[in-house]
Copies of this chain bind each other. A is one copy, B any other.
Amino acid sequence: MLTRLKRLKDNETRKLVGIVLAGKMMAVVLVLGAMQASNWYLNSAAGAATALPQHHPNDFVSPINTMWVLVTAFLVFFMQAGFMGLEAGFARSRETVNILMECVFDTCLCGLLYWAIGFAFQFGAGNGFIGHQYFFLHGITPAYGSTGVAFLAFWLFQFAFADTASTVTSGAMVGRTSFKGDILYSICVSGFIYPIFGHWVWGPGGWLENGSGSLFKTFGTGGAFFRDFAGSTVVHTVGGMIALAGAIALGPRLGRVFKRDGGGPMPAHDLTWGAIGGVILWFGWYGFNPGSTLSAMDWEGIGRVAMNTTIAACAGGMVAVMWVYPQTKKWDLGISVNGFLGGLVAITAPCYWVSPFGAVCIGAIAGIVVPLGINALEHFRIDDPIGAVPVHAFCGIWGTLSLGLFATGQYGIPTPDGADNSTTVNGLFYGGGVNQLKAQFIGSLACILIVTSVALLIMFGIRQIRGSWNLRLDKDSELEGLDIVEHGTPAYHVEFGYGMSYTTPTGASLPGASSIDLKAASENQPV
């Protein structure tokens, strides 16, 4: 048998084998066919329309809300493609495979962890600090809580969020993190830090948003609780601050010279992917924010959230470019992308409670926060290749606070049946006083202090491990390039002349690249 298979490389034999194989199979087919021959023309299609049972109007709430949550969950998941494009594009070609692999691997890891423990920590019943129900999704009900959304659809939506937080983290740690180190910190982020902090804000009884709120009473917020509609704090500040901790623990990439030392950011290797990756993220944000109503019955709410998201992104992108242009006299593509991403991050917390005008203001200020943040990191010699910290951490903080300023006081919270405006959110600029602002400050500060301190301990801890599980790759490997060392392959392989043509600035061709030489070259190929 084996000898026969070996001969498959021989052309004639292969044909013969194929024909014999086909012949044998045809025989089987004929037998099977004969068995069915008697039925062939006797069968007729059913297809008769069955009468619909009588529906009650309330039957449609769960289908509508579940469809909405699923479609938006798909969009949030698709943000992974955007992150991969954005991060790889803005990085160097030598670390591209590593970035792609981390995104794929972390997604797989996050899915398994979120199924096993993450969801239980975040959305299981427990106390104000952690949930302990639904481990491995045991004991689930048809719909999650009172949302009217299928439990597993709700899980998918929340998994996609967890995955995003995990990916944000990797952005500032590009180019020098060992893959084993990545596995270690990703387990901490996806399995513990994100879901536990998430429980505080979004979990049943979480102390920051729904809890007894003794802290809020202490600081006198007048009944206002911390609000984070879609995760400026829960996803972006968390992800961004862990990223900052990682970048500090790692130190800069070899060869990275900062502005004050006469250098600057390393060149992006593919701005096409960088920019289009950013636009994919914007697209995915239409899942992130509007989906966070968990309900399409609140039809005014999803429209408002989607519109506010858009206009804040526009303002962020526009202002960031205009802020940088006078300094460099260049229309900076990188800053325009990070600008609209900053606007998106900022509007994520307040998008349900502000007006389009408020969204423009929030986005515009985010567009200034981003370049200032980039300069600050450059000043402190922190190497954040993608700008993850300014965009996610800093704009996340700004967006969280902005709710306390711009909330119009018209809107309450979405429910499975529509909006519940019995208790509304009021910001300082709309006559609501400083109560909401205080509450936002408490929540944001809690995140910054607690998450960052835990992250620093973890990152510096992994940095202390001896050998290949250390957070940072050894120097020789980093010089040779992460892709080659960790993943065994460069990201790109160019065949000059075959499938790629080129021009030097003088219009000259490299030796051996004309189409005449092509033929000669072919003769020398192993065939």
Contacts and interface: CB of A to CB of B under 8 A. Distances in A.
Interface in A211-231: 211-212, 214-215, 218
Given A416-B52, A494-B502, A218 B35 contact: yes
Interface in A140-159: 142-143, 145-146, 148-156, 159
Contact of A497 (B75, B80, B504): B504
Contact of A479 (B54, B490, B522): B522
A525 to B, nearest CB: 5
Closest 8 CB pairs of A and B: A25-B453, A150-B303, A45-B204, A111-B314, A45-B125, A93-B499, A153-B303, A94-B498
Interface stretch (A249-257, A391-399, A432-440): A249-257
Contact of A315 (B108, B304, B494): B108
Interface string A494-518: 1111111111111110111101011
A504 B493 contact: no
Interface in A462-514: 463, 475-476, 479-481, 483-484, 486-508, 510-513
Contacts of A501: 267, 490, 492-494
Interface stretch (A326-334, A401-409, A423-431): A326-334
A40 B15 CA distance: 73
Interface string A91-104: 01111110011011
A479 B522 CA distance: 6
Given A70-B306, A104-B336, A493-B269, A480 B519 contact: yes
A25 B111 contact: no
Contacts of A53: 417
A341 B91 CA distance: 26
A43 interface: yes
A456 interface: yes
A497 B321 CA distance: 25
Contacts of A507: 521, 524-525
A192 interface: no
Contacts of A452: 21-22, 25
A240 interface: no
A413 interface: no
A306 B70 CA distance: 8
A125 B47 contact: yes
B498 A505 contact: yes
Contacts of A88: 272
A109 interface: yes
A317 interface: yes
Interface string A275-295: 110111011001000100000
A448 to B, nearest CB: 9
Contacts of A96: 271-272, 499
Interface in A252-271: 252, 254-255, 257-258, 267-271
A283 B74 contact: yes
B311 A97 contact: no
B64 A64 contact: yes
Contacts of A70: 286, 290, 302-303, 306
8 contacts: A9-B251, A15-B460, A93-B500, A103-B279, A107-B314, A159-B310, A481-B499, A497-B505
Contact of A271 (B492, B495, B512): B492
B14 A248 contact: yes
A64 B454 CA distance: 44
Contacts of A314: 107-112, 115
A310 B111 contact: yes
Given A14-B248, A55-B61, A104 B317 contact: yes
Given A45-B205, A272-B100, A498-B481, A453 B249 contact: no
A143 B50 CA distance: 12
Contacts of A151: 303
B491 A502 contact: no
A65 to B, nearest CB: 8
A526 interface: yes
Interface in A111-149: 111-112, 115, 124-129, 131, 133, 136-137, 142-143, 145-146, 148-149
A67 B66 contact: no
Contact of A63 (B42, B299, B334): B299
A450 to B, nearest CB: 5
Contacts of A524: 506-507
Given A81-B280, A507-B524, A156 B61 contact: no
A456 B22 contact: yes
B328 A488 contact: yes
A313 interface: yes
Nearest to A278: B104
A81 B490 contact: no
